Chain A
Amino acid sequence: MNNEKQIVQMRKVCKRFGKIKALDKIYLEICAGRIIGLLGANGAGKSTLLRHIIGLYLEDEGQCVTFGCKAGKLGPEELGRIGYVHQEGELLDWMTVRQLIRYVSAYYPNWNRELEEKYVEDYEISMKARVGSLSPGQRQRLAILLAIGFEPELLILDEPAAALDPVARAQFLDLLLQIIQAENRTIIISSHILSDVEKVIDHAVIMKEGHILLDCSFDELRERFCQVRISALGKELPAELPFENILHCKRSDGQAILTVQDCPRERLKEQAKSLDCWIEIETLPLEEIYKIVVS
């Protein structure tokens, strides 16, 4: 990762809220062009980490640098390269959708009107409606539009699909896949809906209680954890299976289902062959991997 262009660098970042340690010695490097899934339970420190990147929070210790500038000192030029969809959903309620878009777009020299129109049409956002009268889902769509309208280099999505219904969520994922096509665009997406996230990310960061438990590419993550189904061919399975790093084992009638960590697939196949067993190796869904990592 170090050879690539780093746009965010967090070194030993600590943050406390009273007695609660929200971030504890966080080291994180985010390279351009990555789609990063930031995963963790409520209170794991995901939003706190994201807010440090854009300078809304200031670190107690350590340093957070975004686009080569200390996050707390980010100016209009750097912020003009960052799009942010936040949990609070704060918008100017008294404006109409059209007025709000015009107001926000006035801050960005590279606002893309075509993208705006396409998005408004796809998402059926009423331009005449007052922002305050929008439903939570519509508000979220508008917030997403405002964050992507200027085609930011770094797009930070903090629980973007939380308020969307299944159809809108699917549309949002399609849109995200379109956005991803742009080269060198970096997206950090924090979400609880892991089934959605795994469709788009290429890098995963898993957090728990202010710590980063895991920071690796998604492919690597999928390689590391797998589910193995072993069936005995003719005879009984041995009482003790000779595989390494078994996290979980479930046996029934000459069959075993194992969850295995850090064991190369070729080796698994060889071992199964030596046992005269039929083996089927499956990649674990992100949700299962996440459960294993945090537990």
Chain B
Amino acid sequence: MSILTANLKHLYQRRGLWLVYVFLGFIVFVSIAGTLDKTPKRGECAILMMSMFFIGFLIATLPIDILAKPFAYCLPGHRKVPRKFIFSTGVAINLLASLIFLLYPVLYLYWPHRIAVICSAFFAGMTLYWLGVGSAFIFRNLTLWIPLLWFSIFGGRIFDLHIITERVIVEEPAVVILVGALSSLAAWFWLDNDGLARRYCARAWVGFLDIWNKNKLQKYKQARAATKPDKDKFKCHLKPSVESFFLDRMNKCDYYGPARHIWGRLYTSFGILLSKWLPALSVALVIVCVSAYFPPIGFFIFIMAGSMMAGGNIRSVYSSMLITVGRNERFITALTLAATSVVLITIPVIIIAALSVLLETIMPDIRLWGKTFTFEAINMRPFFVALLLIIPVISTFQLIFYRKPILGLVFFMFMFQLLFVSVIFWRKPLLTVIANPISIAGLIVLSWVLFLLVLRYVCMRRCLVGQG
């Protein structure tokens, strides 16, 4: 087996990439579905090419992961393997992806033009791919890029970036091919750099797929902390008043009763959030604006934030830090925490909705790239309903897939895609369900009952740490 073949095996051996394949499958589906209506210049063909930035980003993390280990790629014949790996994968993926332009509706007349556009798509993809590869090599903590991924998905659609990209690919193939060829050439020489292995050897680094790798994140944090000045090491994030508030409540309760544990868990879950109320308020104001001007993005941000908060909190069930919390106390505190999360998320939703009503009359319209965005008061109902549904569902996922979060996410994305397909094929019956308050209430009750049962099972019957 050649060295390159051994490295290419990472593409299926690295389980985190399975998630990317599900995601990529979804994009391919959307792109093909978008071209089926034969309406030209809708931008669906370019979505796949735009995703090459993240593909490059992810593909580059695999050799970097190996480079960061001591003496990796130092043996004779190994030095050029990262370049070969990144290039061969990039070329193969972009070749396949650019074929989507065969479906581009207006290109059936002239074959030369069609070939030029496919080449253009290939090189546009390669350019974005190299941007992703470069970013992965430059930044140390790639998990910070996850919000950018979400923004590119939703922001790209709102600002019609996919339509603009598609237009450039179709209308300016020569320029795109030139830029793509030059960027590929530059990348080819840069990746041949002799010092690559030396520079990345034993580098503290967190890859895109390491978000759930506790040990690696811990090592990265410690390596970062060691390089930070003392003032950062001693920077306290928790306000004394918040600490006193919770400790006072704890100390007023019986040592062995559940109330002390509930206050303790609320402290560890929301202490930081309450200490940082000013930044939290600023974020809330930004969300008001985003939600009111661009409703889908705002809705999505809010649901994501709520889900992450609820999901993160429920993981405390599996804490190995032994205090006087027995299995029964874990159950009670986790349940209280989930209910508190709903309340704590609902309050900002109400404030945000109320603020948007107040601001509706004074906020001006925004014009961006020829589009006008109007500030509209936020309808609180969908937020609230979605949160009531999402919090127990996400928490249940977190409980079930605690040790294999990647599987949980793959499953969640699969469900999301199923919903997406269902909307296309069974739009009417689905709308009937969504519009019916009784069915929605039933769904909410069902999700909470399911969460309760899973939580009870985990707390009473499952191993709470390690591999069990």
Tell me, in angstroms, the Cα distance from A147 to B322 when the chains sit together. 8
B320 touches A86 (CB 8 A): yes
- State whether B468 touches A106 (Cβ < 8 A): no
Q: Is the CB of A55 within 8 A of B463?
A: no
Specify the chain A residue showing the minimal Cβ separation from B226.
A135
Instruction: Check if B461 is an interface residue, CB within 8 A of chain A.
Output: yes
Whole-angstrom CA separation of A86 from B328 in the bound complex:
21
B162 at the interface (CB under 8 A from A): no
Which B residues have a C-beta under 8 Å from some C-beta of A?
218, 221-222, 225-226, 228, 232-238, 243, 247, 250-251, 255-257, 260-261, 264, 267-268, 272, 319-329, 460-468
Q: Are B237 and A107 in touch, CB under 8 angstroms?
A: no
In the complex, the answer to whether A136 meets B461 with C-beta atoms within 8 Å is no
Residue of B nearest to A69 (CB): B326
Chain B residue at minimum C-beta to C-beta distance from A75: B326
Q: Is the CB of B320 within 8 A of A96?
A: no
User: Are A72 and B264 in contact, CB atoms less than 8 angstroms apart?
Assistant: no
Residue numbers in B under 8 Å from A234 (CB-CB) = none
Please give me the residue from chain A that is nearest to B235 by CB atom: A130
A48 to B466, CA, bound (A): 9
Residues of chain B within 8 A (CB-CB) of A104 are: 323
* B256 & A76 in contact (Cβ 8 Å cutoff): yes
Whether the pair A130, B324 counts as a contact (CB closer than 8 A) is no
State which residues 115-137 of A face B: CB under 8 Å.
Answer: 126, 128-130, 132-136
- Residue contact A96 to B466, C-beta cutoff 8 Å: no
Residue of B with least CB distance to A78: B326
Contact A79–B222 (Cβ < 8 Å): no
Of listed B228, B238, B324, B460, residue having the most chain A CB within 10 A:
B324
A117 to B264, CA, bound (A): 23
Q: B323 contacts A133, CB within 8 Å?
A: no
A contact residues, total (Cβ < 8 Å): 50
B324 to A80, Cβ gap below 8 A?
yes
Count of inter-chain pairs, beta carbons less than 8 A: 128
- Pick from A86, A93, A94, A103: contact of B247, CB under 8 Å: A103
Determine whether the beta carbon of B328 is less than 8 Å from that of A103: no
A269 to B329, CA, bound (A): 61
**Residues in B neighbouring A95, C-beta threshold 8 A:** 238
Q: Once the chains bind, are A130 and B256 in contact (CB under 8 Å)? A: no
User: With A94-B238, A130-B235, A133-B232 in contact, do A58 and B324 touch (Cβ < 8 Å)?
Assistant: no
| Chain A stretch 162-214: residues in CB contact (< 8 A) with chain B | none
Q: Mark A90-113, 1 if CB is under 8 A from B, else 0.
A: 111111100100111011110000
In the bound complex, do residue B326 and residue A74 qualify as a contact, i.e. CB atoms below 8 Å apart? yes
C-alpha gap A88/B214 in the complex (Å): 10
Contact of B260 among A54, A93, A107 (CB under 8 A): A107
Q: Judging by beta carbons under 8 Å apart, are B324 and A57 in contact? A: no
Q: Is the CB of A76 within 8 A of B322?
A: no
B236's contact among A86, A106, A130, A136, by CB below 8 Å, is which?
A130
A55 neighbours in B (Cβ, 8 Å): 326-327
Specify which chain A residues have a CB less than 8 angstroms from the CB of B320 in the assembled complex.
Answer: 56, 86, 88, 90
The reply to whether B247 and A47 contact each other, CB–CB distance below 8 Å, is: no
Q: Contacting A57 at CB < 8 Å: which of B228, B323, B463?
A: B463
Give the chain A neighbours of B328 by CB distance below 8 A.
73, 75
Contact indicator B233/A129 (Cβ below 8 Å): yes
Given known pairs A75-B326, A108-B324, A128-B234, the reply for A94 and B319 (CB within 8 Å) is no
Residue pair A107, B238 in contact (C-beta under 8 Å):
no
Q: Specify the chain B residue showing the minimal Cβ separation from A108.
A: B324
Chain B residues whose CB sits within 8 angstroms of the CB of A48 once the complex forms: 466
Contact A107 B234 (CB under 8 A): no
CB distance from A258 to the nearest CB of B (A): 42
| Interface residue A290 (Cβ < 8 Å from any Cβ of B) | no
A106 with B264, Cβ < 8 A, contacts A75-B326, A88-B320, A94-B238 known: yes
Additional pairs, 14, CB under 8 Å, beyond known A56-B322, A92-B268, A104-B323: A73-B326, A74-B326, A75-B256, A75-B329, A76-B255, A78-B326, A86-B465, A90-B320, A109-B255, A128-B234, A129-B234, A133-B222, A133-B233, A134-B225
